[in-house]
Amino acid sequence: MAVLQDRRLLITGVLTEGSIAYAVAQRAQEEGAQIVLTGFGRGMRITTRIANRLPDPPDVLELDVTDPAHLEAVATELEQRWGALDGVLHAIAFAPEDALGGEFLATPPESAQTAFMTSAYSLKALAAGLLPLLEKGDHSSIVGLDFDATVAWPAYDWMGVSKAALESVNRYLARDLGPKGVRSNLVSAGPIKTIAAGSIPGFETLAQAWDNQAPMAWNTKDAGPVADACLFLLSGLARGVTGEIVHVDGGYHAMGAPRPPDEPAPEPEPSA
């Protein structure tokens, strides 16, 4: 049987075919899941267009995760459609331009707050808004997309702070949702060339670091390995896993220093 056979999933963050969320949506359908996507504002039209490229084009619901009315409307729609929910992918992050790019000390408080609310608090908001449906699901799972927040990165600034908050939110959700039968986990991905990544000044410098340090080859154009880890956490196979951060980064996070200059870099596999 397929890993996600008949599981009912809500997937946020699909904007391009190269996005991690799109890869999750595609692989989820291949593994037997029923999915619904979300979009918002000008991105809603883009998400709808991209949804039509999936094997079985899903519906797209409007969701601004910072708007309680939107969360309530999505929950009502899913209640009428499925009556329960087995999984949610949180692929939502945003920081204003002045919260990125190396001007950490100059970022105004309202920009830092926007980054936190959209990128970290939204995980709690999404979980709480959909909790009645998740409680009715089968080994229900919330999975969020992360980028290692244990260190400071060049140019990442308040998005890095927000990811650290996201990791903490995940642990508290695991604490409070576990007794209700709902799991919460994060996948900490290596750099993938997405729209979000393109908005980060210095992204290419980050990507180059993986070439110099990751023990396994890392392909910034292939979201497949990250998507497959998300599928595992969304499935019943991970029914005993919660509060976890799964690193899918070619092993970069475990290395203390770049490889010696005379050691050749591993060759990446072709994109899936």
Question: Catalytic site residues?
Answer: 156, 163
3 state SS of 83: coil
Overall residue count recorded for the chain in this entry: 272
Spatial separation of the C-alpha atoms in residues 201 and 161, rounded to whole Å:
16
What is the C-alpha to C-alpha distance for residues 252 and 217, in angstroms, rounded to an integer?
10
The answer to whether 71 and 126 are in contact (CB under 8 A) is yes
CA dihedral (21, 148, 152, 208) positive or negative = negative
Q: How far apart are CA 219 and CA 241, in angstroms?
A: 27
Structure tokens at 38: 């979300």
Strand pairing report for 141-146 and 34-39: unpaired
Structure-token pair, residue 252: 């970069």
